């Protein structure tokens, strides 16, 4: 079981959080954590995204520059 200290909103302070037995086989990377002080559950949402490449961006048509009179 992995554990870490996080702020608990219910306890209003830093508490030890532990991952419960994970049925999804996440192991130590399980996103579900439970506060050992009050039993409140939190879900750590981690995600990745692919950043667009600069070469994939479409070029915008250039607008004519305005000139001062």
27/29 Cα distance (integer angstroms):
5
Helices and strands, number each (H, E), in the chain: 0, 4
pLDDT digits (tens, 9 = 90+) for 12-63: 999 999 988 888 887 777 888 999 999 999 988 777 777 777 665 665 556 6
19/3 Cα distance (integer angstroms):
6
**Cβ-count burial 26-36 (b if 16+ within 10 Å, e if not):** eeeebebbbbe
Task: Indicate the domain borders of the chain.
Answer: 1-25
Q: What is the pLDDT of residue 53?
A: 72
pTM for the whole structure: 0.58
**Six-digit token pair at 33?**
């954590």
Q: What is the pLDDT of residue 14?
A: 95
């Amino acid at each position: 079981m992995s554990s870490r200290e996080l702020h608990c909103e219910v306890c209003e302070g830093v508490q030890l959080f532990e991952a419960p037995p994970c049925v999804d086989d996440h192991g130590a990377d399980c996103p579900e954590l439970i506060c050992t002080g009050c039993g409140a559950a939190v879900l750590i949402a981690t995600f990745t995204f692919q950043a667009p490449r600069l070469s994939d961006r479409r070029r915008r048509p250039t607008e004519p520059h305005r000139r001062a009179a």
